Amino acid sequence: MEISLKYLPGGRAAASGNMMAQSDLDLKETALKEDLKFYFMNPCEKYRARRQIPWKLALQILKILMVTTQLIFFGLSNQLVVSFKEENTIAFKHLFLKGYSGSDEDDYSCSIYTQQDAYDSIFYVINQYKQLKNISLGTLAYEHEGSGLKICKQQYKKGTMLPSNDTLNIDVSTETECIFFKPQELAGKKAELKLNSSFFNLEFYRLIQVEISFKLKGIALQTIHARELPDCYAFQNTITFNNRAHSGKIKIYFDSDTDIQECKDWHIFGSVLQKNTQYILVFDGFVILSCFSSLILCTRSIVLALRLQKRFVNFFLEKYKRHVCHADRLEFINGWYVLVIISDVMTIIGSILKMEIKAKNLTSYDVCSILLGTSTLFVWVGVIRYLGYFQTYNVLILTMQASLPKVLRFCCCAGMIYLGYTFCGWIVLGPYHEKKYQQSGFPVTDLHEFLKDHGSVGYRKEQTSMPFICCCRRQQSDDNLILIN
Residues numbered 263-282 forming contacts with a second copy, rule: CB under 8 A: 263-271, 273
392 contributes a contact to a second copy by CB under 8 A? yes
The CA distance from 15 to 437, in Å, is 75
The CA distance from 453 to 52, in Å, is 49
Q: How far is the CB of 458 from a second copy (least distance, A)?
A: 3
Selected range binding a second copy among 12-20, 34-42, 130-138, 190-198, rule: CB under 8 A: 130-138
Which of residues 44, 49, 417, 484 is near a second copy by CB under 8 A? Answer: 417
Using only C-alpha atoms, the chain has a radius of gyration, in whole angstroms, of 35
Q: Decide: helix, strand or coil at residue 209.
A: strand
106 contributes a contact to a second copy by CB under 8 A? no
Which of residues 84, 181, 214, 337 is near a second copy by CB under 8 A? Answer: 84
Site for a second copy in 276-315 (CB under 8 A): none
Site for a second copy in 332-391 (CB under 8 A): 369-370, 372-374, 376-381, 383-384, 387
Q: How far is the CB of 33 from a second copy (least distance, A)?
A: 30
Q: How far is the CB of 206 from a second copy (least distance, A)?
A: 8
Which helix (H) or strand (E) segment holds residue 416: the answer is: helix 391-428
Strands 140-142 and 149-162: unpaired
Residues with Cβ within 8 Å of 252's Cβ and at least 6 positions away in sequence, in order, are 97, 108, 109, 110, 111, 112, 121, 239, 240, 241, 242
Q: How far is the CB of 464 from a second copy (least distance, A)?
A: 9
Cβ 184 vs Cβ 150: under 8 Å: no
Question: Helices in 271-334 by DSSP H: which ranges?
Answer: 274-320, 326-330
Q: Which of 140, 135, 134 is nearest to 84 (CA)?
A: 140
Handedness of CA 100, 101, 107, 112 (dihedral sign): negative
141 contributes a contact to a second copy by CB under 8 A? yes
Indicate the residue type of 228: E
Which of residues 226, 306, 419, 481 is near a second copy by CB under 8 A? Answer: 419
Indicate the residue type of 417: I
Selected range binding a second copy among 189-197, 298-306, 318-326, 419-427, rule: CB under 8 A: 419-427
Which helix (H) or strand (E) segment holds residue 480: the answer is: helix 477-484
Phi/psi at 232 (nearest 5 deg)?
A: -105, 135
68 contributes a contact to a second copy by CB under 8 A? yes
Q: How far is the CB of 193 from a second copy (least distance, A)?
A: 25
Q: How far is the CB of 83 from a second copy (least distance, A)?
A: 7
Site for a second copy in 165-194 (CB under 8 A): 165-173
Site for a second copy in 197-236 (CB under 8 A): 204-205, 216-222, 224-225, 230, 232
Which of residues 139, 176, 278, 475 is near a second copy by CB under 8 A? Answer: 139
Nearer to a second copy, 324 or 368 (CB): 368
Nearer to a second copy, 37 or 227 (CB): 227
